[in-house]
Amino acid sequence: MTVNHRMKPAAVNPIKTGPSLGAVLALQGCYRAMPIIHGSKGCSAFSKALLTRHFREPIAVQTSALQEMDVIFDANRNLEEALDLVLSKHRPDIIGIIGTELTDVAGVDYRAMLKTYKRERNVRGSLAFSVTLPDFRGSLESGFSSAVEAMIDEMIQMAGHKGARHVNNRQITLLPASFLTPGDVMELKEIIASFGFEVIAVPDISTSLSGHLLTGFSPLTRGGVRLDSMLQSLQSGLTIAVGGSMERPARRLHNALGTPYKVFQGAMGLKAADELLHFLHQISGEPVPLRYCWQRENLLDCMLDAHFQFAGMSAIAALEPDHLFSVSGWLEELGVEQQALVTSCETPVVAGMEQEVWVGDLDDAEYFGKGADLWISSSHGITAARRIQAAFLPAGFPVWNELGAHMAASVGYRGAMEWTNKAGNLLMRREAERRESSVRNR
């Protein structure tokens, strides 16, 4: 099917979130990391506010605090001062310089500046990289993917791999996409590990943004994958990427180190979970653990139980591209009519979908979603869902109207069962409220 664009002069209630926020999110999954946004204070404040509101956790981020005159005369002077401060005061293991539209449109060469800075200051023991992410191109998803790819490039250079390397065939590198929650990443790690593999997730938000109780304060990220484990991941015998946006980082590992990779466009729903477990069974030679056989039975029974709630229902979904693909497959398995699918930007994943996809905003979702029974989007879409009288299922980023949303799982059989029950309950509640309203109005 084709990807369409609804022509209008401005975005209304955008789905799209800036790619720099995606890069900040990627760095939250690395231990003792410090993202430095090379731009104005507002750029970092925006990312920090939304991430804190979504995860309800402190978010580590610094800024070069540019103003107009700084960009005109010497934007990299601010970045150099920020690096001096961060390295002397906090000594992070990982530093990510994240460009913004302010520096990228001005043509600031902060990549060359970082390279010179590391050589002149003899920066050792820390992994420092930069990534160019202007807001007018891509979205949160592409920013996350680009940051992981830049991180992998720097890891390869830091490890100094040339030619032959030791390969651990019982170790797998997991590259989870930006739409996966900490609960999703933990579930994927457990599924892969249950077949006898050691798993290193890069990045790993399941141990940093999972809501674990911490004492004290740290300006750096706490939890996440450690730098030594990240470097150890270069010895993996296989890379598994979940989400089409993570194919580029996986291909980067393959081109540089020869590591084979497998991309799963999604891991949500019966078919996607079957494909993942069948693949792991094939490469490991191990039988599928009994608990997943039971979970599959539970999911099938759950889908049967919910049949009358979903029969004849229609849905509107407005999500990032990879997430939209996963949710669309789940809705198809439930027999729900997909009235409209709206996403933030065009990618090969959505271009290859069988359903018609619109690149637009939540205003477009409301326009196409009139009469839909179920609305799936971030919390920004809750008022539009109420206007068209659809049951609202919060998903994606950000979600602030529901506790624990960032820990909910959607992957595997268990995740699909949780989503099916949750959506079915929302539709039941909607029908009950409609009946009550009809009785009152008689």
Could you check whether the bond before residue 182 is cis, i.e. omega within 30 degrees of 0? no
Q: What angle do CA 285, 291, 292 make, to 5 degrees?
A: 65
- The alpha-carbon radius of gyration of the chain (Å, integer) is 22
- Residue 187, judged by CB atoms within 10 A of its CB (0-12, 13-18, 19+), counts as buried
Q: What pLDDT digit, counting tens, does each position of 351-386 carry?
A: 999 899 999 999 999 999 999 999 999 999 999 999
Rounded-to-integer distance, Cα 82 and Cα 65, Å: 9
Distance CA 135, CA 327 (A): 26
7-21 pLDDT, tens digit per residue, is 888 888 899 998 999
Domain with CATH 3.40.50.1980 in the chain: 19-159, 168-293, 307-440
- In angstroms, rounded to a whole number, what is the distance separating the alpha carbons of residues 222 and 70? 32
pLDDT at 164: 52
- CA dihedral in degrees (290, 292, 298, 299; nearest 10)? -160
In this structure, the number of other CB atoms found within 10 A of the CB of residue 379 comes to 19
Instruction: Please enumerate, as own/partner, the contacts of 109-113 that have beta carbons within 8 Å and a separation of 24 or more.
Output: 109/76, 110/38, 110/75, 110/76, 110/79, 113/76, 113/79, 113/80
Q: By three-state DSSP, how is residue 7 classified?
A: coil
Better-scored residue on pLDDT, 79 or 441: 79
Query: pLDDT at residue 158 above 80?
Result: yes
* Per-residue pLDDT reduced to its tens digit, 39-90: 888 778 888 899 999 998 889 899 888 776 766 677 788 888 888 889 888 8
Q: Is 337 exposed, middle or buried (0-12, 13-18, 19+ CB in 10 A)?
A: middle
Lowest mean pLDDT among 59-73, 143-157, 308-322: 59-73
Mean pLDDT confidence for 173-178 = 98
User: CATH top-level class for 19-159?
Assistant: alpha beta
Nearest to 22 by CA among 103, 157, 114, 138: 138
Instruction: Please give the pLDDT value at position 162.
Output: 47
19/277 Cα distance (integer angstroms): 32
**Domain 168-293, CATH class in plain words:** alpha beta
- Best CA proximity match to 172, nearest among 237, 229, 127, 223: 237
Confidence at 161, pLDDT banded by 50, 70, 90 = low
Residue 31 vs residues 3, 94, 95, 191, 382: alpha-carbon distances, Å: 39, 8, 11, 23, 34
Tokens of 312: 């004849």
Query: Can you tell me the mean pLDDT for 94-121?
Result: 84
The CATH class of 307-440 is alpha beta
Tokens 């059989």 sit at which residue? 413
Tell me the two tokens of residue 36.
Answer: 């430095």
